[in-house]
């Protein structure tokens, strides 16, 4: 099976390759068609679905996967949120959400000013390209959970639902 991921971010590609370990996994740049810093679950999920749909359309018979990171507000705190979508060649769409943790107020304030988390977390962690590596989730979990591992869990949820759907279809 060939899988096309709507990103060239190594943290995302690594996650898909880890779960679809017997499949060909390619990454391409696609538009999420949402803001570069999604600010709620709905927008983050929409970005993931848009990316997956775009990928599924590129070649006949391929599976498209979209992974999107964002933030969402809950009871006066801003949380990291992450969503994934898998769209197959029959346009079946499977979605899954990832772990969420609250962000410190100093980070939330910068995001509320309109900055992107990717930029803010580099300053905070005095790192470069944190989003391609451990991610904000890695920084705030002492790297117990990194961005790739967090996305891998989402991809596992997508793969499981996809397999379940086709296992039931076989029973019909």
98 binds ligand ITT (CB under 6 A): no
Name 83's Cβ contacts closer than 8 Å, sequence gap at least 6.
Answer: 41, 44, 45, 47, 48, 67, 68, 70, 95, 96, 97, 98, 154
Minimum CB separation of residue 102 from ligand ITT in Å reads 13
Q: Which of 10, 97, 102, 118 binds ligand ITT (CB under 6 A)?
A: 118
Which residue of the chain is nearest ligand ITT when measured via CB?
118
Tell whether residue 129 is a contact of ligand ITT (CB under 6 A): no
Burial class (CB in 10 A: 0-12, 13-18, 19+), 111: middle
Which residues ranging from 11 to 70 are in contact with ligand ITT (CB under 6 A)?
Answer: 12, 36-37, 68-70
When the beta carbons of 128 and 172 are compared against ligand ITT, the nearer one is: 128
Residue ranges in 148-167 that form contacts with ligand ITT under rule CB under 6 A: none
Q: List residues near ligand ITT by CB under 6 A.
A: 7, 9, 12, 36-37, 68-70, 80, 116-118, 121, 130-131, 135-137, 147
């Amino acid at each position: 099976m060939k899988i096309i991921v709507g990103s060239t971010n190594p943290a995302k590609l690594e996650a898909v390759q880890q779960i679809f370990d017997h499949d060909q996994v390619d990454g391409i740049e696609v538009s999420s068609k949402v803001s570069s810093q999604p600010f709620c679950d709905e927008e983050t999920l929409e970005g993931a679905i848009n990316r997956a749909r775009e990928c599924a359309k590129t070649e006949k018979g391929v599976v498209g996967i979209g992974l999107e990171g964002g933030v969402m507000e809950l009871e006066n705190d801003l949380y990291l949120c992450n969503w994934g979508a898998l769209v197959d060649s029959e346009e079946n769409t499977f979605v899954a959400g990832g772990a969420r943790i609250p962000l410190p107020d100093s980070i939330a304030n910068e995001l509320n000013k309109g900055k992107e988390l990717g930029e803010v977390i580099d300053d905070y962690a005095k790192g470069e390209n944190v989003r391609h590596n451990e991610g904000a989730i890695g920084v705030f979990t002492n790297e117990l959970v990194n961005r790739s591992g967090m996305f891998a869990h989402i991809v596992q949820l997508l793969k499981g639902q996809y397999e379940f759907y086709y296992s039931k279809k076989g029973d019909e």
